[in-house]
Amino acid sequence: MSPTDLAAPSSLRPNRLWALGILVLLEAALVVSWSAGFIGVRFASDHAPIFLILFWRSLVSGLVLLPFALALGPRMRGRDIAFQMLLGALAMAGYLSGFALAIGLGVPTGLVALITDMLPLAVAFLSWPILGQALTGRQWIGSFIGLAGVLIASGWSLEVGHVPLWAYGLPVLGTLSLALATLLQKRSPVNAMPVYQSLCIQCLSAAAIFAVPAWHEGGVLPVLDRGFIGGILWLVFVATFGAWSLYYLALRKSSPARVTAVLYLSPPVTMVWAWLMFGEPLSWAMAGGLVVSLAGILIVAKSQAPARP
């Protein structure tokens, strides 16, 4: 055996450590950008009505992507566009309005992030009526644990806040809307589009929907205010383009299970971020509920990996 052969294993270690370090930095950036959507809405809500914020976030995102969607192709068929418009109504308009309205009504931003991060539970509940897949015993246990965590985390905020009780159901409805879009996409025979095309159509479709309530709130013209403009740019380039780009890049570098697990870190990051920026409540009850809820989500997520036939 030559000296070169002996040195080979030790020379690979720095490369592996470097790759691991890059992956950890990528995942950290993903968590921050994912949390940035909740923080951006909370920041912009001090400068403009919620639906005006959502309208301009969706419109600007769609218009930025439109040249790429048209120039890079492939050619878009009518039924593909129609299906993406449906997904835009559910995954964009339904989901974004659910959590954004809750934040605008005063529900703590970190708690909204926790509720919306329970997407695996919503997918599990809707899988039976849509895909015919009943929940397993493990999924039921995980679902109840996750729900208990949310109740623990939200109990304290209900005591200290002046938010109507029904407002806490808005992010739940938004999460169910996103889960429905996820399951419809899974069972759809329509061919998948490139991300820049599907995201473009979904954003423009959501903008058309948001334009109606924004008009009733006072109009669709932008607010000429630094806070509003900065908030929209933040939501477009950090929370939309940044988060989605990092998400797909992380999927290429790692496994879907690891990426999903990493995203479960976004609620605590959002809670601390909202506490530092806006002085929102942060208590041991919220932290304890977060831990309980994430444990339930992990149980459900791990049980949703059946072997492919």
Domain residues for the domain of 36 are 28-302
Within-domain flag for 9: no
Within-domain flag for 19: no
Place of tokens 């909740």: 38
Within-domain flag for 85: yes
Within-domain flag for 283: yes
Within-domain flag for 95: yes
Within-domain flag for 1: no
- What is this structure's pTM? 0.78
* Per-residue pLDDT of the chain in tens (309 residues, 90 and over written 9): 444 444 445 544 667 777 777 877 888 888 889 889 889 988 998 899 999 999 999 999 999 999 999 998 788 888 888 988 998 999 889 989 998 999 888 888 888 887 887 776 777 777 777 666 666 777 777 777 777 777 776 665 555 557 788 888 899 899 888 888 878 877 766 657 788 888 899 999 999 999 999 999 888 999 888 889 999 999 999 988 888 778 777 767 766 556 666 777 788 888 888 888 888 777 777 778 778 877 877 776 666 544 333
Within-domain flag for 8: no
Within-domain flag for 15: no
Q: How many domains is the chain partitioned into structurally?
A: 1
